[in-house]
């Protein structure tokens, strides 16, 4: 049964079937092959029941919040301000790519949206300042991955629904790893530019007066982040309600900047509908597949098989990490998450690992999937917006950041409290 499942999944991927369709077709095929009952009759009820989940409302709202900040020009001014404050560091604008990505991630929740936004803002500057193309492109692609790690993260909401864990606790667990990973990305750039100064490009000269004048452009995204996350941690609002507050704040900010018009709203709404449609369809297909896997007993069978191997918990986790690294080379990260989490989460729990901790590990592995060729989504986003040069440049630039992600995974294995300490200190549900 397991061999058939893997073969079907790989076959659908090889045929380039869309992620949502692959998940749905896999569920239907498994039902027809291994169930004596017509499980497909439950599709309508499952789709209705799962789509009525209140937490799903947060997804389009978080997407819309990020789109409004881009369309109103807030993101562009934020990037300019960050670049002024980090221009003195070795690597200059490459550090701005990481810093601006971290700030935008705190209001976006999407890796692809973060990479696309920062690419649009940063690539013209790269050409002017003569930065090393591969490392500069890699810094954008890597910075974009922070979009699914730094709260509010859409992928974390999806994982929380699948694993039945608390979204606020998951957000808290990701906070410290996100800070550490952002710092590690920055240290990589600084170290590379110190060792090979020609990578750093022309260092721009910025006065302290210019830096102080740019500070107001950093305030809006930080205030929105504090609002959205603060009301969750304070027990004032749920994740969905906080997302609605974030949208209201983004609208007020666009109005204050005199950018709230029909063109801005049209662009933001259209992009939000496209992104949300894709995410919700994949999520509904995942709920159906989860139902099929549970009904035919594959989940229980897999857990029994893995525990029967008598590997140590760490050995099992290393095998799971290797599995995700390989799968991330060929599969979209959201599809990878919704397809495999129903199988791996029971194994992880059976081995005694915390599902909250594993959620952060899984998001880190999804981040790596965004950077690993041949199908790393962030690589394609950066290259397509660049519109020139070789795709291999983006791959070369992203590889050092993949090593940093591997180092981060090792750190999480050695020190799980990096993720679990903060949730244990705060009483959130």
pLDDT in tens, 40-66: 888 888 778 777 777 778 888 888 888
Per-residue model confidence (pLDDT) at position 293: 77
Four-residue CA torsion sign, 329, 176, 113, 400: negative
Task: Give residue 293's Cα distance to chain centre.
Answer: 26
pLDDT band (50, 70, 90) for residue 13: low
Per-residue model confidence (pLDDT) at position 181: 95
Q: How far is CA 398 from CA 131, 146, 351, in A?
A: 15, 14, 33
Maximum average pLDDT range among 193-202, 326-335, 400-409: 400-409
Q: What average pLDDT does the structure give for the chain?
A: 83
**Total tally of structural domains belonging to the chain:** 1
Average pLDDT estimate for 200-214: 79
Give a yes or no: residue 92 inside a domain.
Answer: yes
Per-residue model confidence (pLDDT) at position 398: 92
Give a yes or no: residue 29 inside a domain.
Answer: no
Window from 166-170, 274-278, 330-334 with minimum mean pLDDT: 330-334
Average pLDDT estimate for 22-49: 81
Average pLDDT estimate for 110-138: 81
Per-residue model confidence (pLDDT) at position 206: 78
Per-residue model confidence (pLDDT) at position 427: 66
pLDDT band (50, 70, 90) for residue 166: confident
**Selected residue with higher pLDDT from 383 and 10:** 383
pLDDT at 170 over 70: yes
Phi-psi category of residue 109: left, alpha or beta, with phi > 0 → left and psi -120 to 50 → alpha:
left
pLDDT at 37 over 90: no
Give a yes or no: residue 22 inside a domain.
Answer: no
Per-residue model confidence (pLDDT) at position 1: 67
Domain holding 75, by residue range, is 40-425
pLDDT at 14 over 80: no
Window from 97-111, 206-220, 303-317, 358-372 with minimum mean pLDDT: 303-317
Give a yes or no: residue 278 inside a domain.
Answer: yes
How many other CB atoms are found less than 10 A from the CB of residue 332? 24
Per-residue model confidence (pLDDT) at position 76: 81
Summarised one tens digit per residue, pLDDT across range 139-156 is 999 998 888 888 888 889
**Selected residue with higher pLDDT from 181 and 324:** 181
CA–CA dist 114, 145 (Å, integer)? 8
Per-residue model confidence (pLDDT) at position 413: 95
Summarised one tens digit per residue, pLDDT across range 216-226 is 888 888 888 88
CA–CA dist 203, 221 (Å, integer)? 26
Maximum average pLDDT range among 2-6, 166-170, 187-191, 336-340: 187-191
How many other CB atoms are found less than 10 A from the CB of residue 60? 20
Angle in degrees, 0-180, between the axes of helices 377-386 and 133-145, rounded to the nearest 10 = 130
Average pLDDT estimate for 373-402: 83
pLDDT at 91 over 90: no
């Amino acid at each position: 049964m397991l061999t058939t499942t893997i073969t079907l999944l790989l076959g659908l991927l090889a045929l380039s079937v869309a992620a949502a369709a692959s998940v749905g077709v896999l569920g239907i095929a498994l039902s027809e092959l291994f169930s004596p009952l017509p499980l497909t009759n439950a599709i309508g009820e499952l789709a209705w029941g799962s789509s009525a989940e209140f937490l799903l409302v947060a997804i389009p709202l978080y997407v819309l919040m990020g789109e409004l900040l881009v369309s109103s020009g807030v993101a562009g001014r934020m990037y300019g301000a960050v670049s002024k404050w980090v221009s003195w560091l070795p690597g200059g604008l490459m550090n701005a790519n990481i810093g601006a990505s971290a700030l935008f991630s705190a209001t976006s929740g999407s890796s692809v949206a973060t990479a696309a936004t920062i690419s649009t803002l940063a690539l013209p500057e790269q050409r002017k300042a003569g930065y090393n193309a591969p490392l500069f492109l890699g810094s954008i692609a890597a910075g974009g991955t922070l979009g699914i790690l730094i709260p509010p993260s859409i992928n974390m909401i999806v994982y929380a629904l699948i694993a039945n864990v608390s979204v606020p606790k998951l957000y808290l667990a990701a906070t410290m790893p996100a800070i550490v990973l952002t710092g590690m990305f920055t240290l990589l750039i600084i170290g590379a530019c110190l060792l090979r100064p020609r990578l750093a490009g022309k260092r721009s000269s910025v006065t302290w007066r210019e830096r102080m004048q740019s500070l107001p452009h950093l305030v809006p995204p930080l205030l929105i982040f504090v609002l959205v996350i603060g009301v969750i941690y304070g027990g004032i609002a749920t994740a969905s309600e906080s997302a609605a507050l974030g949208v209201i704040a983004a609208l007020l900010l666009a109005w204050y900047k005199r950018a709230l018009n029909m063109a801005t709203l049209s662009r933001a709404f259209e992009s939000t509908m496209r992104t949300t449609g894709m995410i919700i369809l994949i999520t509904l297909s995942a709920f159906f597949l989860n139902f099929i896997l549970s009904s035919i007993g594959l989940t229980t069978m897999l857990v029994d098989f893995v525990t029967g191997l008598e590997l140590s918990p760490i050995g099992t986790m290393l095998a799971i990490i290797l599995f995700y690294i390989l799968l991330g080379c060929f599969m979209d990260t959201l599809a990878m998450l919704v397809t495999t989490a129903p199988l791996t989460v029971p194994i992880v729990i059976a081995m005694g690992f915390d599902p909250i901790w594993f959620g952060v590990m899984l998001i880190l592995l999804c981040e790596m999937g965004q950077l690993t060729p041949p199908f790393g989504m962030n690589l394609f986003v950066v290259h397509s917006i660049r519109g020139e040069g070789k795709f291999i440049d983006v791959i070369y630039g992203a590889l050092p950041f993949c090593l940093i992600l591997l180092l981060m995974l090792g750190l999480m294995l050695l020190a799980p409290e990096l993720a679990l300490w903060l949730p244990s200190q705060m009483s959130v549900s």
